[in-house]
Structure 1
């Protein structure tokens, strides 16, 4: 499928002071789409537990307009970024499309064939799913702009310990320690504990938005999980929203997380652990929110810069053998024990070898035949947003902790600003970025660093140069107005049948008891129209409680799960139910009240 997207630069009319608006939209798709993040080990989605959402935070001072989009997706996408800019007329320089990097959402929307083909359990670019995402995000951006009002903002940071761990420690400890006094603590300081929070309030005191940036993989749930979900980030949102109230739009961006995993208890991947870790992060963010009120300002300087950097100065991209073995917490059975796939088995090499210690999968000669260069990312988006004295740096790679520190240091040296927040997987997904020292060890992260050991240095230079050029009220775009994509397409979004089917019950509710990694739940079935006929990004199910049948919980919560069981049969599950007294409860699905239970 070949198509061209045009993004003409449109300068905004100047405004006085700071204006801000925020909106949230539902991006939950129907069953049938491949999930991204676990590659061939992933599952095709059969429903959802907690909804997938996109949140938009819009800020403008003077003529500088920013739109920070936070999606419950594997990463950003050049297709989505440019299509949303074209649909809304929003300037490309200020349109930041970030993600939480959940492994529980569909792929098939990216701007490169490689990751549409291999990030999910099935290949291809789905134009219908992509069109849906563009429409929903554009609606959210338009609503955020239309509802903007005078505002104040503040950015702060705190440290979160004990909820994350470095999953590639033998590679990480090869990095030099600038301050030798910290050397004995290397194993304990192998994560980035910094959690940043952007708080935005209206000048009337009403909270508008909270944006969290923190580095941890969205892998709290196992590869076998088959429902769409935001992984541990769903619980970050729920905890933060519970503490702040329903008013602010709450979202998150992924930090420098490539070698950072959630600190799951051994063998306990699942919603119980994802909830424990996510709620801990959300609680820390809520505590930070409360401390920022005295720091709120209505006159922050804003600026934006966006560059699409070519990869001509980097080696021809190549996949490494260590990629096949998988990451530490999700290793490929048997294969992860066999050299050269096994982590920590680098290749002997000469100093002139552009890929250094990487065993190129299939060899340097055969891989380009099977995987030609056109399938790899060849354009790398780099973005810098200036928000007061904070610089938000977005890059398309999953960036390791130490690689992120080096990018931040380069930006600080170029700008003199110390508060540099580096985020991963922004505006596209392009694999990993390790330091040269980590790369030399050839763990999963190094094997997945496509452009060789100099990738981090290249990214740091690009970010530093762009950041130095972005001043107050600057909007710098170093990218062509038009960009053409050529992506093999395959539709997974189910077709409509337009069958006239009303929902009907399918048996009584049943209780499933708790296990080591899964909470207990009540489950009930019903029959309905085919999946393509239902609107999955609108409410489907809720739980009501007698007497009076008041709504107790709906499917915006992680406590409710809806899944398609085949042959037009569906299941609704209420997880961790809090049944009180002898009251009766019932599920209501698409307006149909099912049989009560207690």
Structure 2
């Protein structure tokens, strides 16, 4: 035995965002505990304990309100003690499974895979995943005020700034609709699609179109940089040539299904909530389980990152997760649509598969990456 891997779904946020040092958080502690345990039993033989991330979009290790710091934390005042505790819980469960691995399911079969790049800024969702709607689709990435406001364990912009941002965003929306009557028909259609797809999201940043509060002239934005560090960085970076034709966040994203014998590993370039992950896994299971696949595992954060995937119902609440579901309220439906297509292809023999990249991700020069670099 050379190692073990698991997919416990829990955020690595035991250490809060006031820490300025590199830390492996709860999963790092869990891996360390498991490796030390096994090596102790095997006289120091090399062993790798991998605690991969699972479906964790809305799963937190923090459940105590800290009145002083005004955020949720673990049971202890010290973040590192909380990380060690949560890591130990994961380790203990993993160790128990590992100790009985010989009596568990033996993975057998061949290795296989299917991979595709998809432009998620423009995906028509299948009606079966979109409450029967035939016009459900995604649009270029937008971040909502709810995203910038943060969470109970990682606060973002101050409440007053968030309130002002909501007012400004609403004003921008009204202005865009009012002036659209003087624009070309294709521009009016694009505007309607944006607000229809984004639904209840109060749009602050259009990272796909490189705009903040409706303007691409970031340095001239009426909001002063002193009220929020994110706005300050936007204003500072824009004069350096940050207005190139590439999006601020990725929209061409990789999807992959890897068959490890009778285990299917589905790679997602995002973090996905519990129920969204269950619905997505059900789609893949319906296709692959009848063919002899024993289990389907969702592996988020794989090879790229675009934000969150929430259910349509969760999206309507517009909490942090919905504000960070950048392609709109039908994001999950779009992923279900594309992954169903990929799962059907992997059933075919490799030579017969029609898995073609719609488009390739943009390549950045060293100079372009340099213009996007900043220090917090």
TM-score interval for Structure 1 and Structure 2 normalised by the shorter chain: 0.5 to 0.7
Distance 1:332 1:366, change over 3 A: closer
CA contact (8 A) 1:436 1:454 kept: yes
Alpha-carbon distance in structure 2 between the residues aligned to 1:327 and 1:334: 12
Structure 2 match to 1:463: 339
Deviation for aligned residue 1:249: 1.5
1:53-88 CA-partner distances (Å, limit 9, x unpaired): xxxxxxxxxxxxxxxxxxxxxxxxxxxxxxxxxxxx
Structure 1 match to 2:48: 249
Distance 1:333 1:486, change over 3 A: closer
Structure 1 match to 2:196: 353
Alpha-carbon distance in structure 2 between the residues aligned to 1:373 and 1:236: 39
Decide which structure has greater strand share: 1
Instruction: Work out which of the residue numbers 318, 327, 337 in structure 1 matches 2:142.
Output: 318
Q: What secondary structure sits across from 2:369 in the alignment? A: coil
- Which ranges in structure 2 are unaligned for 5 or more consecutive residues? 40-44, 67-76, 124-137, 175-191, 219-242
Superposition pairs of residues 372-451 of structure 1, within 5 angstroms? 374-416=247-289, 417=293, 419-451=295-327
Report the TM-score, using the length of structure 1 for normalisation. Answer: 0.43
Structure 2 match to 1:489: 369
Q: Radius of gyration: which is bigger? A: 1
CA contact (8 A) 2:268 2:300 kept: yes
Report the TM-score, using the length of structure 2 for normalisation. Answer: 0.66
Structure 1 match to 2:90: 281
Deviation for aligned residue 1:384: 0.8
Alpha-carbon distance in structure 2 between the residues aligned to 1:373 and 1:483: 10
Structure 2 match to 1:220: 14
Q: What secondary structure sits across from 1:374 in the alignment? A: coil
Structure 2 match to 1:497: none
CA contact (8 A) 1:240 1:282 kept: yes
Distance 1:482 1:244, change over 3 A: same
Distance 1:445 1:373, change over 3 A: farther
Q: What secondary structure sits across from 1:375 in the alignment? A: coil
Task: Tell me the C-alpha RMSD between the 2 structures.
Answer: 3.4
Deviation for aligned residue 1:474: 4.9
CA contact (8 A) 1:410 1:461 kept: no
Q: What secondary structure sits across from 1:211 in the alignment? A: strand
Structure 1 match to 2:103: 294
Alpha-carbon distance in structure 1 between the residues aligned to 2:361 and 2:201: 32
Distance 1:366 1:338, change over 3 A: closer
1:193-246 CA-partner distances (Å, limit 9, x unpaired): xxxxxxxxxxxxxx1121111211111112122221211111111221133225
Deviation for aligned residue 1:310: 1.5
Deviation for aligned residue 1:479: 3.6
- Which ranges in structure 1 are unaligned for 5 or more consecutive residues? 1-206, 494-598
1:160-180 CA-partner distances (Å, limit 9, x unpaired): xxxxxxxxxxxxxxxxxxxxx
Deviation for aligned residue 1:442: 0.4
Decide which structure has greater helix share: 2
Q: What secondary structure sits across from 1:233 in the alignment? A: helix
Distance 1:230 1:478, change over 3 A: farther
Is 1:454 the counterpart of 2:327 in the alignment? no
Is 1:259 the counterpart of 2:58 in the alignment? yes
Alpha-carbon distance in structure 2 between the residues aligned to 1:401 and 1:286: 24
Q: What secondary structure sits across from 2:24 in the alignment? A: coil
Alpha-carbon distance in structure 2 between the residues aligned to 1:318 and 1:223: 23
Distance 1:278 1:478, change over 3 A: farther
CA contact (8 A) 1:325 1:341 kept: no
Distance 1:480 1:457, change over 3 A: closer
Q: What secondary structure sits across from 1:323 in the alignment? A: helix
Structure of higher RCO (CA pairs closer than 8 Å, 6+ residues apart): 2
